[in-house]
Amino acid sequence: MKIPSPVIDVRAWLDAQPFSPFQWRVVFLCFCIVAVDGFDTACVGFIAPALMHDWHIGPSVLGSLFGAGLAGLMIGALAFGPLADRVGRKKTLIATVAFFGVASLAAAYAPSVEFLIALRFVTGLGLGGAMPNAIALTSEYCPERQKSFLTTVMFCGFTMGSGLGGVVAAQLLPDHGWRSVLIFGGVLPLALVPLLATLLPESVRFMVSRGFESTRIGPLLSRIAPVQYDQNTRFSLREAKAEGSPVRQLFAVGFRRGTLLLWSVFFMSLLIVYLMTNWLPTLIHSSGLSLAAAARIAILYQVGGTVGALVIGSLMDRFPPTIVLGSAYAAGSLFLMATGCAQGSLLAAAVTGVGFCISGSQVGANAFAARYYPTASRVTGVSWALGVGRLGSVCGALVGGVLLTANIGFSLLFLIIAVPAAIASIAIYACGFQPGNRGAQSAVV
């Protein structure tokens, strides 16, 4: 009688192990990826006043510049997500990080605003592909008990990188001009590429889902904790059985309604996040504060986002994630309304609260999406949610210019911005009233 091969459930095995230095390395490298992603995404907002001064462009042209980069982010997310679910997370990450690094360097030498707009679109393609892969790879090396918190810890790199854009801009702009900020944003990711090629592992869950040989999966698990395996060992994932293309899986029974609700959340949330990221310094400056004061207050938005992500991520591992996120988005809408009415230290506190609730909740939504979808379609699920969300971010970039040009009062402007936060709150609450991907089947390979 043939003795059956031993089977190791990778998901249960990871849940049973203490979090290892090898897993922390994955979190740290992905943290670095989203940090340079955040820097390159946000730096244009910090150099915007200098661009307006040097090239004598108005808010509408600046809105087109912001929108071009965000349109590239959207297309990059939609394109690279399904690719990563087929060829792997590591290869896609290295390619996209190198891509947006080269594009940022090229943008630094743009001879006109038209060339800069085109190059920001190209930069956005790489940025849009890197972020969802970093989210998925981190999630796939985390135990279930800490997945939301550790994913948000990793994603804090984005808000810290965005904040670094303000610090670097403040140091480089006076003496070296806006081009130096883009050069800095190109050198960082290119310096990161060799480290990723050497130190970043492929996702072990991806390898199991794609049927890699046990002799390739076992050594990776052994770097986390000792595991007994041989060439006859089979590795499994107790997840929903994948059928069809990764995109088609997003609309399978049990995922369809949640997918559409998540897209609504990401659209509304990213509309606010990128409107604040790109326009907040300019909006605050237009209210009468100096550029230096506006930049300092804008940095508080990123600080609030970083703290909010950590707190919200921790709460999501303890309580129902949809309740945590829905409450945070609702509070964010109140802070947005307060921003339009506050002055002085109260304005700084309100902006920090917006970052805590809105930017922090967006990080939490990324972690929620990574948990919601199975391995076979995880990057596609996260990247398509982000891709649809980029439509909201493009709207935010363009609407900011329109509102500024229309000379709408500061209070009314932030009252308008508070509406999408309320809609995001309702949509994420609704995600808690649909079945999701429970009752997953075991896929043994």
83's CB contacts (< 8 A; 6+ apart) are 92, 129
Determine the pLDDT at residue 333.
Answer: 94
- Taking alpha carbons only, the member of 198, 206, 192, 199 closest to residue 88 is 206
Using one digit for the tens of pLDDT, what is the confidence trace for 27-53? 999 999 999 988 888 888 788 888 888
Determine the pLDDT at residue 404.
Answer: 67
Cα 90 from Cα 70, distance rounded (Å): 24
Cα 308 from Cα 360, distance rounded (Å): 4
Determine the pLDDT at residue 77.
Answer: 83
248's CB contacts (< 8 A; 6+ apart) are none
Q: Which amino acid is at 390?
A: R
Determine the pLDDT at residue 427.
Answer: 93
Q: Which residues pair with 443 in a beta bridge?
A: 237
Q: Which residues pair with 444 in a beta bridge?
A: 236
Return averaged pLDDT per consecutive 10 residues of the chain, 445 residues in all.
63 88 94 90 81 80 80 85 86 94 92 90 90 90 87 84 81 84 92 95 89 85 83 74 69 81 92 80 70 76 87 91 94 91 81 92 89 81 85 74 71 86 93 54 34
Under a CB-based contact definition with an 8 Å cutoff, are residues 303 and 163 in contact? yes
Cα 93 from Cα 103, distance rounded (Å): 15
Q: Which helix (H) or strand (E) holds 25?
A: helix 21-55
CA atoms within 13 A on the CB side of 264: 20
Listing DSSP states for 175-219 in one string gives HH-HHHHHHHHHHHHHHHHHHHHHHPPPPHHHHHHTT--HHHHHH
Side by side, the strands of the sheet bearing 234-238 are 7-9, 234-238, 442-444
Determine the pLDDT at residue 406.
Answer: 72
Determine the pLDDT at residue 91.
Answer: 93
* Pairing of the two strands 442-444 and 234-238: antiparallel
Sign of the alpha-carbon torsion through 206, 212, 216, 222: positive
Looking at domain 7-209+241-444, which CATH architecture does it have? Answer: Up-down Bundle (1.20)
Cα 169 from Cα 178, distance rounded (Å): 8
Determine the pLDDT at residue 265.
Answer: 93
Q: Which amino acid is at 400?
A: G
Whether pTM > 0.85 for this model: the answer is no
Give the start-to-end residue ranges of the domains of the chain: 7-209+241-444
Rg, the chain, Cα only: 22
